[in-house]
Amino acid sequence: MKPKVLILCTGNSCRSHMAEGILRRAAGDLLDVFSAGSKPAGFVHPNAISAMKEIGIDISGHRSKPLDQFLNAGIATVVTVCDSANAACPVFPGPVCRHHWSFEDPPKAVRPGESEMEAFRRIRDEIKKVFEAYAAGCRDGLRCR
């Protein structure tokens, strides 16, 4: 059985879905990857879907989920990708490894002269860099937790 990784953000509409898609592609043969939110928005942001499609990852079938449904799911690792989710993350039963890698919320991260879609691409690329490095560590035999 593969270790289960849960990626959390507040709304489970952008960052956690992008990270889930990237980690599944990079290490789906090693890990079962899921995402959820502390306060699910109820939708996956269309720009997150588009930004991921640009790099060949389809998250159009993802849905926004509450983290409660994973509390007793045998999660081995919890990765929070925003500060709010990190603060709200409950204690999971059993030995759970926690990581916190914070990324800006794409719709709120637009810089001067940058479109919202460009912000999504920038943050997608930041997430990709971190989660592909994590997957590479797993592949190199580092304890993948």
- Per-residue pLDDT of the chain (145 residues), as tens digits, is 899 999 999 999 999 999 999 999 999 999 999 999 989 999 999 999 999 999 999 999 999 999 999 988 999 999 999 888 777 766 676 788 889 999 999 999 999 999 999 999 999 999 999 999 999 988 887 665 5
Q: For residue 99, what are the β-bridge partners?
A: 79
Give the alpha-carbon dihedral of 71, 75, 77, 83, to 10 degrees: -20
* Residue in 14, 82, 138, 144 annotated catalytic: 82
Quick check: is 76 in a domain?
Answer: yes
Is residue 35, in this structure, part of any structural domain at all?
yes
- Report the CATH number that the domain containing residue 49 is assigned in CATH: 3.40.50.2300
- Residues 48, 18: contact at Cβ < 8 Å? yes
Based on the residue annotation, tell me whether 89 is a catalytic residue of this protein.
yes
> For residue 56, is it within any domain?
yes
pTM: 0.93
CA distance between the termini of the chain: 14
Domain limits for position 94: 4-139
Give me the catalytic one of 9, 14, 138, 144: 9
